[in-house]
Structure 1
Amino acid sequence: MSGERHGHRARRTGRQDLPAGPSRTATIQSIDRAASVLALLDQDTGSLTPALVSDRLGLNRTTAHRYLQSLQRAGFLNTAFGPGPLLDQLSALVSVRQQILTLAPAVMRQLSDGTGLTSVLSFLGRSGAVVTLVEEANQATIVLTVRVGTVLEHRAAQTRVLLAFQSDPAAVARAHERLTPTEAAVERHALVDVRRHRVAWADLDREGFVSVAVPVFATRNVQAAMALLGTTAMLRPADQSTERVHALEQAAQTLGSLVAS
């Protein structure tokens, strides 16, 4: 009876936490085992069978078949227990990102040398843009830069670009979950403006420092954000038609066009 009462409370509160104790451990073990099943797929094994899973993982065939059916229902496997649509989707995403990471350095090098500014490429992480590539101008007297791996705040230009074109509302909610209602309203308005102009300017309250970012479209979606870092003497948010901003937009378009659709 106590378990039933607990279940009713969970439904009323809408909590999604994993249960504590043995049930939580069993859930984690199930996830680990499902991952082991999927890991059996390789260049020599295009589909799975209960017999194969049972033999390689030491499971009885009934358990192996149950895992295969569950993975098929979730989209990880198809009806023949080969790679399913969810794996295809993840594979396509990884492929696009690998292409971007391979092609971007040359495009960014040309952009940095042509503008005299540091160029940055970021992907969207859980709470903001994550700096992935950085190219500094060779001939610049003053170099502004950012470390690879830095998670940028919600008011950073690259975070705004990536959130503005994010199709999953939950991603925006996660990035803004620590904001006050007033701050969240300001950001929502900023994202509308970014979608309209396809250009974002940082609002970091750092005197003398400016960054501007644009989306990198590939396979019809925004895959990354490309930005320039500079001083207020080099980049002016009030003037969005500068040659440097145009060069940034052109570089992003070039990179997107190079990625195979």
Structure 2
Amino acid sequence: MDGAAEVADARVRAPGSVQSVDRALDVLETLAGSDAPMGVGEVAELTGLPQGTAHRLLRSLQARGYVRHDISRKYSVGSAALRLGEAAQRSLARTARPYLNELVALSGETANLAVLEGDDVVYVAQVPSPHTLRMFAEVGRHVPPHSTAVGKVLLAALPQERAIGLVRRTGLPRYTEHTITRVADFTAELERTRERGWAADEGEQEIGVRCVAVPVGEGRKVTAALSLSGPAERFAGSAEPGLVEQMVAVAQAFAASLAGAEARAATGPA
């Protein structure tokens, strides 16, 4: 099952929801879950909508810039959706701040929040280590997922075919002697990440830097990754006793706060 089909299967209808809004969001989420532009028929099939309804919704979304129509007469997510994504990232970063502070307090190292945007990992928030010698990933920086702990966690949450398709598109460029550069090896690394629930970067992006990351959310509902990074000479990473377990607890609390906010919004007054 591809990403778009999984989005279609995962829909939840809130009590009292507005059908036209639900349908428009179904269309957007289906396009967002696809790695390629889609025709009207494909959108209709995956959303379960009549083809005429799907076409009207696509044209309305196109008029507002949320959907684009290319020369092959297929549709994909439009540039207007970027504004929503940027606003969502700012909101996520604000909510994450106390949890990032907690990670720094328990480890003394730099804490990061990252999300998957297209084929890249993007750092959306950071709380730096109090040490003079510390790691720094610029907020807004895009990095390839295969050489980072946060990237491994985020790709491990995707369907296997979609994750491997992503790294085949981007390639597996070597940054250090420790970077994973073979698809088979990276596939095995994703499987290890799924089994143990965390990922590590042992100097794979930059020599002398160690990082460990955990997912925010579970299964296909992972929305982001939290990580700690520091100089390898000081930071033991996943080998630090109890560190991964503490990080998982912080990530679970963060995920619960996000879920609670969504639930309150869904059940609040109209």
1:235–1:244 contact (8 Å) kept in structure 2: no
Distance 1:117 1:238, change over 3 A: closer
Q: For the structure 1 residues 174 and 140, does the alpha-carbon distance in structure 2 shift closer, same or farther, using more than 3 Å as the test?
A: same
Distance 2:110 2:167 in 1: 25
Query: Which of these two proteins has the greater Rg computed from alpha carbons?
Result: 1
- Please, which runs of 5 or more residues in structure 2 have no aligned partner? 1-18, 22-49, 59-80, 174-179, 264-270
Where does 1:23-172 land on structure 2 (aligned, <5 Å)? 72-73=53-54, 76=57, 100-137=92-129, 139-153=130-144, 154-167=146-159, 169-172=161-164
> Are the equivalent residues in 1 in contact too, given 2:156–2:163 (CA < 8 A)?
no
Are the structure 2 counterparts of residues 70 and 150 from structure 1 closer, same or farther at C-alpha, using a change threshold of 3 Å?
Answer: same
Q: 1:76 to 1:102 in 2, by over 3 A?
A: farther
User: SS at the partner of 1:215?
Assistant: strand
Q: When the two structures are superposed, what TM-score results if normalisation uses the length of structure 2?
A: 0.57
Instruction: State the shift of 1:220 in Å.
Output: 6.6
Q: Secondary structure at the match of 2:213?
A: strand
Q: Which residue of 2 aligns with 1:176?
A: 168
Q: For 2:187 and 2:254, locate their aligned partners in 1 and report how far apart those are by CA, in whole Å.
A: 28
Q: Once the two structures are superposed, what CA deviation does each residue of 1:177-214 show, in whole Å capped at 9, x if it has no partner?
A: 22489611111010000000011011416332101111
Which residue identity lines up with residue 163 of structure 1 in the other structure?
L
In structure 2, do the counterparts of structure 1 residues 125 and 172 end up closer, same or farther at CA, with 3 Å as the change threshold?
farther
- For the 8 Å contact 1:200–1:214, the answer to whether it is kept is yes
RMSD: 3.6
Q: Which amino acid aligns with 1:243?
A: G
Where does the alignment leave 5 or more consecutive residues of structure 1 unmatched?
1-45, 49-68, 78-89
Counterpart residue type for residue 229 of structure 2 = L
For residues 183 and 219 of structure 2, the distance between their equivalents in structure 1, rounded to whole angstroms, comes to 30
Deviation (angstroms), 1:236? 3.0
Partner of 2:208: 208
TM-score (norm 1): 0.58
CA drift at 1:96 = 7.7
Q: Is the 8 A contact 1:163 1:191 kept in 2?
A: yes
Tell me the CA shift for residue 149 of structure 1. 1.4
CA distance in 1, matches of 2:219, 2:94: 16
Aligned residues: 182
Q: Which residue of 1 aligns with 2:64?
A: none
Q: Report how far residue 101 of structure 1 moved.
A: 3.0
Q: Residue 188 and residue 126 in structure 1: after superposition, are their counterparts in 2 closer, same or farther (change >3 A)?
A: same
Structure-2 residue corresponding to 1:38: none
Call closer, same or farther: CA 1:206–1:115 in 2, change over 3 Å: same
Q: 2:89·2:124 contact (CA, 8 Å) conserved in 1?
A: no
- Give the CA deviation at 1:152: 2.0
CA distance in 1, matches of 2:56, 2:197: 34
